[in-house]
């Protein structure tokens, strides 16, 4: 262990140079703007639930920031995914292509629709769905039958593809969208982690037919709990709002609902937090970029691969990640760093290893397994009170 200690100590020193002594969390929220004021405004207005001016304002702020024409606020990112998948046409017994290297919500939302995830491999550099692996899978499995794309092996309709921008790093979304278009597959982009990340001049979440964001407490900005459905399609946006507000027909006092909808609308209180957080987002992104640049320099010196955005893309640097040489080294580092109060964690266990998804079809997942054994997230919060000095 002496060897690994000498290799790991400079990493811990580098983390402490940014975050100081004491216990360091992986990612914590920052409430240093108008959060309190907007919450009080909300309470004073009596509009604390899912009707209120802050919900609309928060949606408008997301539209203005991302440049994606429509944004519909939901109670969380999982609910946003659930409804986005339905709107993309995912229904019972369909198959939905996604990555096994993702957070559980991606798969759960597919299952809520009664559909079956199909796991395709990721790229080692982006940690996101691999267009090459997708092309191989579709060439081997997809067949056009009666106006539908069907998986020849399972006999299931291939209803959608859900790529995910892991830790904020954009996947090769343009290639994925182009490929899916060849096969008539709608793309639902899981951009839960990538608010602020772009490919070319376009924001992630805006490439697919629909995209989703999350504002969970661990994300780059938070509403406590919250999510957003993104789309440039006027009709889909209207359907998203209708389905997430119990499918209630507008009326001053009657309760008439025209389908089975969901109580998924974001409460005004949460949206109030979101509005205040959005005011600080550009500053947060600059600080996150500065932290990532410091880490990149450190890990270049140490010869440890540090995950970064592809050329032509920008990452929000939400959660920084490094790669170890082996599972044994990864585990030794996790033990070492956490014992010292520096919180680190491995990437998610592959979805097909979990009981609920163990039977799902997959393509062998070579890169996903390789990454699962090596990736570690390191502290990535905006440091306490150090905002101006971190701005590049």
* Chain contacts with ligand PLP (rule: CB under 6 A): 76-78, 81, 102-103, 105-106, 164, 190, 192-193, 214, 216, 227
Q: How far is the CB of 354 from ligand PLP (least distance, A)?
A: 15
Residue 230 CB coordination number (10 Å): 30
Closest by CA position to 83, among listed 270, 212, 186: 212
Hey, is 267 helix, strand or coil? coil
Contacts of 57 (CB under 8 A, 6+ apart): 271, 275
Quote the CA–CA distance of 88 and 160 in Å, as a whole number. Answer: 7
The residue (of 14 and 205) whose beta carbon lies closer to ligand PLP is: 205
Quote the CA–CA distance of 259 and 94 in Å, as a whole number. Answer: 21
Q: How far is the CB of 164 from ligand PLP (least distance, A)?
A: 5
Contacts of 353 (CB under 8 A, 6+ apart): none
The residue (of 138 and 192) whose beta carbon lies closer to ligand PLP is: 192
Quote the CA–CA distance of 347 and 340 in Å, as a whole number. Answer: 20
Q: How far is the CB of 381 from ligand PLP (least distance, A)?
A: 16
Q: How far is the CB of 316 from ligand PLP (least distance, A)?
A: 13
Q: How far is the CB of 280 from ligand PLP (least distance, A)?
A: 19
The residue (of 78 and 231) whose beta carbon lies closer to ligand PLP is: 78
Contacts of 355 (CB under 8 A, 6+ apart): none
Q: How far is the CB of 77 from ligand PLP (least distance, A)?
A: 3
Instruction: Give the C-alpha distances (Å, rounded to integers) separating 163 from 107, 177, 186.
Output: 11, 9, 11
Closest by CA position to 138, among listed 168, 180, 109: 180
The residue (of 141 and 172) whose beta carbon lies closer to ligand PLP is: 172
Quote the CA–CA distance of 86 and 335 in Å, as a whole number. Answer: 42
The residue (of 42 and 192) whose beta carbon lies closer to ligand PLP is: 192
Q: How far is the CB of 266 from ligand PLP (least distance, A)?
A: 11
- Interior angle at CA 36, CA 34 and CA 39, nearest 5: 105
The residue (of 109 and 272) whose beta carbon lies closer to ligand PLP is: 109
The residue (of 81 and 85) whose beta carbon lies closer to ligand PLP is: 81
Q: Name the residue number minimizing CB distance to ligand PLP.
A: 77
């Amino acid at each position: 262990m002496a060897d690994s200690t000498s290799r790991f100590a400079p990493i811990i020193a580098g983390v402490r140079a940014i975050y100081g002594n004491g216990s360091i969390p992986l990612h914590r929220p920052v409430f240093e703007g108008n959060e309190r004021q907007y919450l009080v405004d909300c309470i004073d207005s009596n509009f604390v639930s899912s009707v209120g001016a802050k919900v609309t304002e928060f949606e408008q702020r997301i539209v203005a920031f991302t440049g994606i024409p429509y944004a519909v606020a939901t109670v969380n990112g999982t609910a946003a995914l659930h409804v986005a998948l339905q709107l993309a046409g995912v229904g019972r017994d369909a198959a939905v292509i996604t990555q096994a290297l993702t957070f559980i919500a991606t798969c759960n939302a597919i299952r809520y629709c009664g559909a079956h995830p199909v796991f395709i491999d990721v790229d080692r550099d982006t940690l996101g769905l691999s267009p090459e692996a997708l092309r191989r899978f579709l060439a081997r499995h997809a067949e056009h039958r009666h106006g539908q794309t069907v998986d020849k092996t399972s006999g299931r309709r291939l209803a959608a593809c859900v790529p995910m921008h892991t830790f904020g790093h954009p996947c090769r979304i343009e290639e994925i969208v182009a490929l899916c278009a060849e096969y008539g597959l709608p793309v639902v982009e899981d951009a839960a982690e990538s608010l602020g990340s772009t490919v070319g001049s376009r924001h992630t979440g805006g490439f697919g037919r629909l995209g989703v964001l999350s504002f969970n407490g661990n994300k780059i900005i938070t509403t406590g709990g919250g999510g957003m459905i993104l789309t440039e399609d006027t009709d889909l946006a209207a359907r998203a709002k209708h389905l997430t507000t119990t499918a209630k027909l507008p009326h001053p006092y009657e309760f008439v609902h025209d389908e089975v909808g969901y109580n998924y609308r974001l409460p005004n209180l949460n949206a109030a937090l979101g509005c205040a957080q959005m005011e600080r987002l550009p500053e947060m992104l600059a600080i996150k970029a500065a932290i990532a640049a410091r880490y990149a320099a450190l890990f270049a010196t140490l010869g440890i691969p540090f995950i970064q955005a592809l050329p032509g893309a920008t990452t929000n640097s939400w959660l920084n990640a490094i790669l170890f040489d082996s599972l044994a080294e990864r585990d030794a580092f996790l033990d070492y760093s956490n014992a010292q109060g520096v919180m680190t964690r491995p990437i998610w266990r592959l979805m097909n290893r979990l009981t609920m998804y163990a039977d799902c079809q997959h393509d062998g997942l070579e890169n996903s397994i390789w990454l699962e054994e090596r990736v570690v997230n390191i502290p990535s919060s905006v440091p306490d009170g150090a905002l101006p000095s971190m701005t590049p």
